[in-house]
Amino acid sequence: MPIDVRIRFGRAIRRIREEQEINQEEAADRCGLHRTYYSGIERGVRNLSLVNIEKVAKGLKTTLPELFSRL
């Protein structure tokens, strides 16, 4: 059974964040999201809207295609 897309997405942004050597609080701030919401994204418990996916990409200084290629 394939891993849920929310979990794959969360793992992808966690890897990007760790590559940038920032914590979740800094990442959430850059994305304009609450830190607990951002944490839920990384844990795969949030079902993001396209608007928030774009905020995450911009906040982590990456593009949407790059973000999705890491799933």
Confidence of residue 2 (pLDDT cuts 50, 70, 90): confident
Cα atoms in the Cβ-side hemisphere of radius 13 Å centred on 48? 25
Average pLDDT over residues 27-43: 98
- Helices and strands in the chain: count of H runs, count of E runs: 5, 0
Domains identified in the chain, total number: 1
Domain of 25 in residue numbering reads as 5-69
Neighbours of 57 (CB within 10 A): 19
Residue 58 tokens, joined: 């911009």
Average pLDDT over residues 16-38: 98
> Dihedral through CA 8, CA 69, CA 13, CA 11, nearest 10?
30
User: Under a CB-based contact definition with an 8 Å cutoff, are residues 38 and 24 in contact?
Assistant: yes
Residue 25: what pLDDT? 98
Q: What is the CATH number of the domain that holds 54?
A: 1.10.260.40
